[in-house]
Amino acid sequence: MNGGDEVAEAPASPPQPLEWKFSQVFGERTAGEEVQEVDIISAIEFDRSGDHLATGDRGGRVVLFERTDTKDHGRSRRDLERMGYPISRHPEFRYKTEFQSHEPEFDYLKSLEIEEKINKIRWCQTVNGALFLLSTNDKTIKYWKVQEKKVKKISEMNVDPSKAVGNGGVASSSNSSIGKQYLANGGDKSHNLPSNDLSILPGGFPSLRLPVVTSNETSLMARCRRVYAHAHDYHINSISNNSDGETFISADDLRINLWNLEISNQSFNIVDVKPANMEDLTEVITSAEFHPSHCNMLAYSSSKGSIRLIDMRQSALCDSHAKLFEEPEAPGSRSFFTEIIASISDIKFARDGRHILSRDYMTLKLWDINMDSGPVATFQVHEYLRPKLCDLYENDSIFDKFECCLSGDGLRVATGSYSNLFRVFGCALGSTEASTLEASKNPMRRQVQTPSRPSRSLSSITRVVRRGAEGPGVDANGNSFDFTTKLHHLAWHPTENSIACAAANSLYMYYA
């Protein structure tokens, strides 16, 4: 899974399944507490180092968390272990700061309300200790700088303490000691000035001193550096940073635009799938992401279940793809819901850039960018829902968009489901790991031991289908199913087995 020819040299035995444990929760609800709509988390993202975590919510706020278990030594966890420092049992985060990223707006030309909900957050490169990130709602992208500023305070006033107390001022012991030793403007103690005489004698004013400003405390300040607006006619569903550190893309239903971080009034349209006649529209863009190391390559997914890899060196308008990844439809399997559940809601590149993970309504699929004949692995997320597709269509749940993520080492993948459950699958050769966990303080309480089904080889190259237990009307573990609680958003720590996931307004963190 680390790129190159190493796939053929897979280890003889797959890694052992991870045992997940609860780490932290932020914004935990008490029993019966009603969740405010504006507090529901709508985006989660770790930065490249894993030392910072950002969440966005439907109220347009961005909340930042920072890691504390390695902060004292200023080194990575792996370096500290090598140097023999005692390491806490799991990554720990604390609240850092929050700011209002977006406000509700109204488009008077189209008579449309633009809600403040944060759709995506992406971290940018850290410069001189300052944090930079992009956040977007449906129409407007903003570039934020968060850094510590020293708070300046006046510690010594230019009043004579002996006279200030009588006039309602505030005396200071530090002022009095300085006043006895030094006189401003070269004055001396021989002048006895009346308190109501404002004239300055040739010797100077004995009680006039410049205020002393000190800055001992620091405060985090978030400042909006750029606003990238008026470039999308449809709702923005994705933003992605380029590995060159200078550009990023934004995608809506029909177009992908390329931006320079320093230029907010101009973008280049690099993908346009809008037909001349909108009645001919058959598919829309659902997600887009840059390759993690090749600055000229990006991938985008569609509502028809296909992924297109494009190379920006080929032409200015990348309407023709370099590679197309899609799974052929099984004969006789087509139904009314086929196209709806085939729509891909999220794609992610593996850190090595060799694989792409995609999430559609029913499955996770892992693709090798060197093999476009089909996915190398398919993971059934909630196959037991297939008999209930009609009910899911009636209550609009079939249109829910779940995110997916990969571990930093590329050995595991994860995604969310209903009843605040999320699933973790092993994708190493021969692995049968398929865990179901609940976003609560006891993540394993919904977990039951079910015999793992062996992977089924579909071709000479590793192409496997793995399933969980199936039961009509209940979830994978025999529990009644709750369509109102959904775990849409989650993120995997870039270097460790730690997952952050959102259940309504609560942020849960787990480690293994």
Question: Do 202 and 135 contact (CB within 8 A), yes or no?
Answer: no
Please name the helix (run of DSSP H) or strand (run of DSSP E) that holds residue 29, with its range, or none. Answer: none
Question: Do 227 and 140 contact (CB within 8 A), yes or no?
Answer: yes
**Residue 464 to residue 83: CA distance in whole angstroms:** 41
In the prediction, which pLDDT does 353 show? Answer: 95
- 397 is written with which tokens? 């749940």
**Residue 374 to residue 107: CA distance in whole angstroms:** 43
In the prediction, which pLDDT does 79 show? Answer: 61
**Residue 353 to residue 129: CA distance in whole angstroms:** 28
In the prediction, which pLDDT does 160 show? Answer: 54
In the prediction, which pLDDT does 77 show? Answer: 53
**Residue 407 to residue 17: CA distance in whole angstroms:** 13
DSSP-assigned states of every residue in 16-28: PPP--EEEEEESP
Asked whether the CA dihedral 440, 444, 450, 454 is positive or negative, the reply is positive
- 422 is written with which tokens? 């999320």
**Residue 12 to residue 429: CA distance in whole angstroms:** 9
Q: What is the DSSP letter of 158?
A: S
Kindly give, in sequence order, each residue whose CB lies less than 8 Å from that of residue 445, ignoring residues fewer than 6 positions away: 438
**Residue 287 to residue 405: CA distance in whole angstroms:** 14
Kindly give, in sequence order, each residue whose CB lies less than 8 Å from that of residue 423, ignoring residues fewer than 6 positions away: 379, 381, 414, 415, 416, 417, 434, 435, 436, 437, 468
Q: What is the DSSP letter of 178?
A: H
DSSP-assigned states of every residue in 372-421: -SS-SEEEES-GGGGGGHHHHHHTTGGG----EEE-TTSSEEEEE-BTTE
From 512, 308, 488, select the one nearest 426 (Cα to Cα). Answer: 512
In the prediction, which pLDDT does 247 show? Answer: 96
Question: Do 23 and 53 contact (CB within 8 A), yes or no?
Answer: no
Question: Do 37 and 112 contact (CB within 8 A), yes or no?
Answer: no
In the prediction, which pLDDT does 12 show? Answer: 57
Q: Which long-range contacts (CB under 8 A, 24 or more apart) does 420-423 make?
A: 420/482, 420/485, 420/486, 420/487, 420/503, 421/446, 421/475, 421/476, 421/487, 422/487, 422/490, 422/499, 422/501, 423/379, 423/381, 423/468
**Residue 329 to residue 309: CA distance in whole angstroms:** 20
In the prediction, which pLDDT does 319 show? Answer: 80
From 189, 185, 159, select the one nearest 174 (Cα to Cα). Answer: 159
Q: What is the DSSP letter of 80?
A: H
Q: What tens-digit pLDDT sequence spans the chain (512 residues)?
A: 454 444 445 455 788 889 999 999 999 887 778 889 999 999 999 999 999 999 999 999 999 999 998 755 555 555 655 555 555 567 899 999 999 999 999 888 888 899 999 999 999 999 888 999 999 999 999 999 999 888 777 776 655 555 544 444 444 444 444 444 444 444 444 445 455 555 555 666 566 667 777 777 778 899 999 999 999 999 999 999 999 999 999 999 999 999 999 999 999 999 999 999 999 999 999 999 999 999 999 999 999 999 999 999 988 888 888 899 999 887 777 888 999 999 999 999 999 999 999 999 999 999 999 998 899 999 999 999 999 999 999 999 999 999 999 999 999 999 999 999 999 999 988 889 999 999 998 877 655 433 333 333 333 333 444 444 333 345 544 456 788 899 999 999 999 999 999 999 999 999 99
- 426 is written with which tokens? 């092993």
In the prediction, which pLDDT does 463 show? Answer: 40
Helix, strand, or coil here: 78? helix
In the prediction, which pLDDT does 480 show? Answer: 60
Beta bridge partner(s), residue 358: 347, 365
Q: Which long-range contacts (CB under 8 A, 24 or more apart) does 311-316 make?
A: 312/258, 312/270, 316/268, 316/270
